[in-house]
Amino acid sequence: MAERKVLSKYFPPDFDPSKLERRRKPLANAGPKVQTVRLMAPFSMKCTSCGEYIYKGRKFNARKETTDEKYLQITIFRFYIRCTRCSAEITFKTDPKRMDYECERGARRNFEVWREAKLNEETEEEMLDRIEREENERDAMKELERKTVDAKMEMAVADALDEVRLRNAQRERVGKEGEVAGVQREERDLEREREEMEMEEAARRAFQSGTGEKVKRLEEDLLLTEQDCGGKDEVAVPPPTFVRQVKKKKDFSAALGIKKKSLV
């Protein structure tokens, strides 16, 4: 036991170091890394060679191989086991996408109800694809709605321009017609004034006598009479009374031939 602790070791006199064989270590990236591991069957399966059923949880000495496949930067491993009856090689690998294992060859996985329901469910990748597809469809709908709004706006602008042009044309036409109408209105006003002057002249001639004197109206005569009577004594007019007067009843008996008896 003490020999392993010494600093110097014994070399025989016939020792030749040139006769020693040089051994190189295998390269790190020479091939897939394989190591022996102890594992349990991750699912129940049936061997395709002999028909032996291998239940879930049975222990095996397996070879673990690191593959070049990856899913979302997760390395996928492959495992090699042998059937307990015929020693046929069975291979399965990890499935990070479904968080399960996938049987490759040598055996067939038994039916599992919960697994079928899980496979029918939407995975995360499918959900992401569906969301992306819906967003693309939504973007297409938004683009269509934007194009529809732009088309409506263009139509509204075109209608407004047509209305402005029509209004300007009407104003120009009304302006030209207004000048003509103004001249006609002035002519009508002059004609009306001339007719009124003629009517006043005819009325003045009608109220003149044959000698050329103006005929006086009744109101003027009354006014002159009141002016003449202004120096005399005015007649006192009694104030009005509002006493109720009882009317006598008429006797219709004589008209009807009725004779009244005299009270003697």
Q: Return the bridge partners of 93, or none.
A: 78, 102
The overall longest dimension of the chain from CA atoms, in Å, is 210
Cβ-based neighbour number of residue 83 at 10 Å = 21
End-to-end Cα, the chain, rounded Å? 194
103 is an annotated ligand-binding site residue: no
Query: Rounded to an integer, what distance in angstroms lies between the CA atom of residue 36 and that of residue 243?
Result: 146
Query: Rounded to an integer, what distance in angstroms lies between the CA atom of residue 67 and that of residue 75?
Result: 7
DSSP per-residue letters across 95-137: ETTTTEEEEEESEEEPP-HHHHHHHHSPPHHHHHHHHHHHHHH
Q: Is 184 helix (H, G, I), strand (E, B) or coil?
A: helix
One-letter-per-residue 3-state SS of 143-177 = HHHHHHHHHHHHHHHHHHHHHHHHHHHHHHHHHHH
229 is an annotated ligand-binding site residue: no
With vertex at residue 135, the alpha carbon angle to CA 133 and CA 141, rounded to the nearest 5 degrees, is 105
Query: Rounded to an integer, what distance in angstroms lies between the CA atom of residue 251 and that of residue 249?
Result: 7
With vertex at residue 13, the alpha carbon angle to CA 11 and CA 18, rounded to the nearest 5 degrees, is 75
Instruction: Please give the annotated binding residues for Zn(2+), written as ranges.
Output: 47, 50, 83, 86
Instruction: Please give the annotated binding residues, written as ranges.
Output: 47, 50, 83, 86
